[in-house]
Structure 1
Amino acid sequence: MATACMDRGTTTTERVGMALSDFSIGCEFLTATGRWRCTDIGTRTVTAIRLDLDHDPSWYEGPPYAVPEHVFDEYDLEGCAPAPDGAHYDDSGRERLVSLPRG
């Protein structure tokens, strides 16, 4: 079950990343590379798994996880933001995709 990371009450324009105290195991957060779920918290680092659309949801059950865990250090936390409660994916541009024949 995913939980929300703590929000310190600032807007996203005021926020410069997240603090270590904003994280909890199971909370989800966003980076420029996508949505992540916190799996462990150290004294200066956060470990997380990336949540991709095309994986079987059972891959995110653990530990151990079927997907690799990544470590975010104190400098990486500056690029993190709390994720909205539910996963929201925008595929509105899908109808404009054009398939071209190979060859």
Structure 2
Amino acid sequence: MRGVWFIGRGVVDRDGRNVGYVHDLVFRIVPGDPPRFELVGLECGKAGVGDRLGYTRDTMAGPWPLTALFRWLSRRSRFVEWSAVRRIGRERIEISKSRDELERFTEISS
């Protein structure tokens, strides 16, 4: 499966409620020779452009109005652990957690 297949796909929680759309994949580096990347989760929400441009992370320096706007828009982005993904369908991804149980994505990425 390719990562691009996830981007833009809808995410539904265990109760059938909409979580949003996948905006980004979250990986961690697994040390080794050579090192490899392991998928740990998905960023989901309604607005993801600012995050993809880096404006929702502290490491991005840019015009403060854009930074403030994109951080405000991404305030509802959620992090879905890869272990919570139950089913990957053509139209949507189903997870085993409730939308209310998901952490804010900005708390994960800081």
Same fold (TM over 0.5): no
Please identify which structure carries the higher helix content.
2
Q: Give the greater-gyration-radius structure (CA).
A: 1
- Provide TM-score, normalisation by structure 2: 0.37
- Provide TM-score, normalisation by structure 1: 0.39
Please identify which structure carries the higher strand content.
2
